[in-house]
Structure 1
Amino acid sequence: MLEFSKRSNTLEQTEYLYSLQDVPEPHLYRHLFNYEEVPKIAFNHRHVPMRPPEEIFITDSTFRDGQQAREPYTVQQIVDLFKFLHRLGGPKGIIRQTEFFLYSKKDKEAVTKCMELGYRFPEITSWIRAVKEDFYLVKEMGIKETGILASCSDYHIFKKLKMTRKQAMEQFLSIVKSALEIGVVPRLHLEDLTRADFYGFVVPFVLELMKLQEEAKIPIKVRACDTLGFGVNYPGVALPRSVPGIIYGLWHHAQLPSEQMEWHGHNDFYKAVSNAGTAWLYGCSGVNTTLLGIGERTGNCPLEAMVFEYASLRGTLDGMEPTVITEIAEYYTKEIGYTVPPMTPLVGREFNFTRSGIHADGLLKDEEIYNIFNTEKLLNRKVVVAVNEHSGAAGIAHWVNSYFNLKEERKLEKRDARLLKIKEWVDHLYEGGRNTVIGDHELLEYIQAEIPELWHELTRR
């Protein structure tokens, strides 16, 4: 049977409908996931169309998945971070939602205080277990949408839930009906999707969700969860690991609208950011993230990374305020006591920090040569040059000009005799066996004690 699809504006075959394959034994894809070996990436050379949605956005799980990997945030810390998310997301709400736990007194207090701020974005949603009693928590708090765990791989269905596929599907659908009955928008978290039987369980399950949606006239959302980071974005990769294949299959075969779809990826194989961007490109509107990527095991996709990925793909920040990212990183360090690895992109203390004398010389001539973009404008982070045995006079000149924020007419050249004196002192330290970077305070003390005329020049207003 042929039908003209308004979604693709083409004639499409609709004679095959995917139905549940209730297998007697779990399908564990052992050819890909032999537990004693590195997981394999298999190709079938099938390519699906790239189809970016009209609207893409970021969602956040800092207060849910992000709290599963560290000590819980205090109520005040949650409120402060929520304010940062609001400012960072801008007036268009590119950071669309953030989800909360609801189980403890502290969880409920944090939700209440964030609600009292009256922000439209990010919208507050929740996450609950797949049990009917939990919906009353959602309703009591006045939350309109909640995430529900729906494990979809045979690893989870057979080994964790001790069910068959049919039993699991029936239980999940029953929980969704309970949510719809009280008017709550359900968001199904398809756990371990990148090890699931996509056409034998996932597509039939989502098709059933779309039937319930049609009956209830309430949207049902789906979060595609790459729980162990097995997703791969290479062209022609076979399911269940293909990110393009999963997203295409959800909107094309399972009829799931892009705006009701989210990608949630983990970083076990360093693919969280690239997989999230790929999900956007192939038809998924939402990508789920956490601040600084903090989450289970290796973490989630970092929210700050997707702010810049969004701008790279759309050519605009759409009102997002990226300098807030630096404020967030400083808050984690100073107020929460979290140690941000120094070389972490965008937020680490040394992400735009150079130790090489050759690089410092280039930076001195033109910052654009060795800096990714205007980090001072976009992140309120000046380029920093370390002073060590490789810095040379150029590195010292850059450090002085940057540290003292010298305007163009006051900047020192690397040939300045006073800087050469500092270089001689630095060289002497390393010839004597030093092997660590020279700190700012050491340089300041040396200049003040040994080159007082330079100190007065640099510190005059």
Structure 2
Amino acid sequence: MEKRKIEIMDTTLRDGEQTSGVSFAGQEKVSIARLLLEELKVDRIEVASARVSEGEFKSIRKVAQWAKNRGYLDKIEVLGFIDGTASVDWIINTGCRVMNLLCKGSLRHCREQLRKTPEEHLEDIKQVISYAQRKGVDVNLYLEDWSNGMRHSEEYVYLIMDNLKDLPIRRFMLPDTLGILTPDETADFCTRMIRRYPDVHFDFHAHNDYDLAVANVFEAVKAGVKGVHVTVNGLGERAGNAPLSSVIAVIEDHLKMKTNVREKSIYHVSKIVESYSGIRIPANKPVIGDNVFTQVAGVHADGDKKNNLYFNDLLPERFGRSREYALGKTSGKANIMKNLEALGIDLDEETTKKVTARIIELGDKKEIVTPDELPYIISDILKNGTENQVIQLLNYSLTLTNGLRPTATVKIAIKGEVYEQTAAGDGQYHAFSKAMYKIYRSLNKPIPELLDYMVVIPPGGKTNAYVQTIITWRFEGKTFKTRGLDVDQTAAAIKATMKMLNMIENKTIPTFNYMQLP
């Protein structure tokens, strides 16, 4: 038996743009329209409301011209109003040819907002539809506030439908305008509409005020509606609309139906719209959030190694993504091994244990250690080894004040004796070094020479990435390097410095002078 296909109408450029603070530029609208129709393959897009502004008019003309050149003009829709000829003319002048006519789907809206009787409202609707037909504009019809209409004035809804169902209206669109419906109500109300008007094409338009938009779409499709409305990333007024990503997954996996949407493009398009809109995608947003395909607990990674015990049907590859295994304080050996496999790194058992222990230690400093940082941690372990901590850093304080030189106060213990000094420098690490040198001079201890200071940051541009500081020293004719790893560059340099001082104190400087200096 062939799967039933559900029509997807995306309204990111109209309803989604009603998100507080979101306004797409003309070229951004063209770009998003292209992504939705050519890359995602949605069936239709709603791009604007008629008569909003001169800027909107120019933007929609650009979209319409692009759509006409690409053969998509019948997929471009504009919200229109019961305003005589004004909306229809505005739509025609943009170059568009489909109007989504906004009518009143509840008696209260009809009486109190329009201050008209149902009969008067019906007459106004018919006049607009007649004019649109004469001008060659196709009409879909929104029953605004339909959910309240079904709750409180069901006979009014049927009166409107009975008088309009035989007119040239391609789709009747049922909005939960205020996001008030429960899944049970959605199923009930949609079923009543479909049973009473079996030959009508119904769309369902959900809002997410109670976080039930996707659940309500599920029930509407199950009841038999033929189309649903979505937005990329769930953009929309107040709590937003039903997110395209979740709706597609639910239709495919739970309803066992299909759409024309290309799943592999969902993440890519979502990230571009995130950039254009300035509205960040929550890290835990299903399908498209940064963390949703990341296993954190070590037991889950272990289960994935044993016949994918913690997989579900939402395989990341479907959506152009990949599964990751987080590295942090809850990591186990299985997480580490999964990441090492992905990086092509093979470690012995003892080193793997050390890496695991270090990641757990570092995980207390930040939530996640990224796979990009793993090679730096391994390098830190392999090249630094462990030293007898004859010299211990007990405490330090760094200050950076605009207009004043940075200062550092350092307290260390050398073989149990405590020393403290304060110094100013040209930078925080320079101030730390000068304070340390003060202590060493007071003890007549020899002072090494710093030859080179290099900072390496993993790719990805994250501001909380671990920093590896590599410092080259010369002491008693020997040149050697020490490394420090931390989320703070100065802290990493301090770790490298303490490593160097303990190597000198323990006389464990490499005997091989691998850097020939003039």
Tell me whether the two structures share a fold, i.e. TM-score over 0.5: yes
Shift of the 262–170 alpha-carbon distance from structure 1 to 2, 3 Å rule, reads same
Q: Could you tell me how far apart the structure 1 residues matched to 2:314 and 2:383 are? A: 33
Contact 1:233–1:244 (CA under 8 A) maintained in structure 2 = yes
Partner SS, residue 134 of structure 1:
helix
The aligned runs of 1:283-432 (5 Å cut-off) are 283-312=224-253, 315=256, 317=258, 320-334=261-275, 336-366=277-307, 368-373=308-313, 375-402=315-342, 404=343, 406=344, 416-429=349-362
Is contact 1:86-1:119 (8 Å) kept? no
1:123 to 69, 75, 88: 75
Structure 1 residues 156 and 444: CA distance shift in structure 2, 3 A: farther
1:210 aligns with 2:143: no
Task: Tell me the residue number matched to 2:378.
Answer: 447
CA distance in structure 2 between the aligned counterparts of 1:256 and 1:65, rounded to whole angstroms: 28
Distance 1:106 1:418 in 2: 63
Q: In the alignment, what sits opposite 1:20?
A: none
Compare CA radii of gyration and give the structure with the larger one. Answer: 2
Residue of structure 2 equivalent to 1:224: 174
Q: Distance in 2 between matches of 1:194 and 1:318?
A: 25
Hey, what does 2:126 align to over in structure 1?
173
Aligned equivalent of 1:139: 92
Q: What is the CA distance between 1:54 and its match in structure 2? A: 5.3
Q: Size of the alignment, in residue pairs?
A: 374
Whole-Å Cα distance in 2 between the matches of residues 140 and 335 of structure 1? 27
1-side partners of 2:306 and 2:250: how far apart?
A: 29
Aligned to 2:16: 66
| Alignment partner of 1:257 is 2:199 | yes
Instruction: Extract unaligned runs of 5+ from structure 2.
Output: 385-518
CA-to-partner distance for each residue in 1:299-342, whole Å, 9 max, x for gaps? 11111222223323674756642110111123234555431100
Instruction: List 4+ stretches of structure 1 deviating above 6 A.
Output: none
1:278-303 deviation per Cα after TM superposition (whole angstroms, max 9, x unaligned): 22222211111111111111111111
Q: Which residue of 1 aligns with 2:140?
A: 187
Percent identity between the two aligned chains: 21
When normalised by structure 1's length, the TM-score is 0.73
In 2, Cα distance between equivalents of 1:167 and 1:288: 29
SS, match of residue 451 in structure 1: helix
CA distances 1:340-366 after superposition (whole Å, capped 9, x unpaired): 100000101011112212112212334
Give the letter aligned to residue 354 of structure 1.
Q
Give distance in 2, aligned partners of 1:244 and 1:333. 32
* Residue 213 (structure 2) pairs with residue 272 (structure 1): yes
Q: CA deviation at 1:135?
A: 0.6
SS at match of 2:239: coil
* Distance verdict in 2 for CA 1:110–1:304, change over 3 Å: farther
Residue 120 of structure 1: how far off its partner (Å): 4.0
Specify the SS of the correspondent of 2:165: helix
Deviation at 1:99?
1.1
TM-score (norm 2): 0.66
Inter-partner Cα distance in structure 2 for 1:53 and 1:362: 33
Q: CA deviation at 1:174?
A: 3.0
- Greater alpha carbon shift after TM alignment, 387-396 vs 148-157: 148-157
Please list the CA deviations of residues 143-185 of structure 1 after superposition, one character each: whole Å capped at 9, or x if unmatched: 3321111122244223332333333333333333332332322
Taking a change above 3 Å as real, the CA distance of residues 233 and 105 of structure 1, as seen in their structure-2 partners, is closer
Partner of 1:301, secondary structure, is coil
**Contact 1:387/1:395 (CA < 8 Å) preserved in 2?**
yes
Contact 1:149/1:191 (CA < 8 Å) preserved in 2? yes
Q: Cα offset for 1:446? A: 1.8
Give the secondary structure class of the aligned counterpart of 1:369: coil
Q: Is the Cα–Cα contact under 8 Å of residues 293 and 299 in structure 1 kept in the other structure?
A: yes
SS of structure 1 residue aligned to 2:193: helix
Task: Answer whether contact 2:328 2:362 (CA < 8 A) is retained.
Answer: no
1:106 correspondence with 2:61: no
1:377 positional shift? 2.7
C-alpha distance in 1 between matches for 2:319 and 2:285: 14
1:250–1:142 Cα change, 3 Å: farther
RMSD: 2.9
Q: Which moved more, 1:370-379 or 1:348-357?
A: 370-379
Aligned counterparts of 1:333 and 1:210: Cα–Cα separation in 2? 39
SS at match of 1:371: coil
The structure-2 alpha-carbon separation of the partners of 1:338 and 1:230, relative to structure 1 and needing over 3 Å to count, comes to closer
Structure 1 residues 84 and 437 mapped into 2: Cα distance closer, same or farther (>3 Å)?
Answer: same
Q: Cα gap change, 1:100/1:332 in structure 2, threshold over 3 Å: closer, same or farther? A: closer
CA distance in 2, matches of 1:193, 1:447: 60
CA 316–264 in structure 1, closer or farther in 2 if over 3 Å, else same:
closer
2: CA distance, partners of 1:121 / 1:327? 24
Where do 5+ consecutive residues of structure 1 fail to align?
1-51, 235-241, 454-461
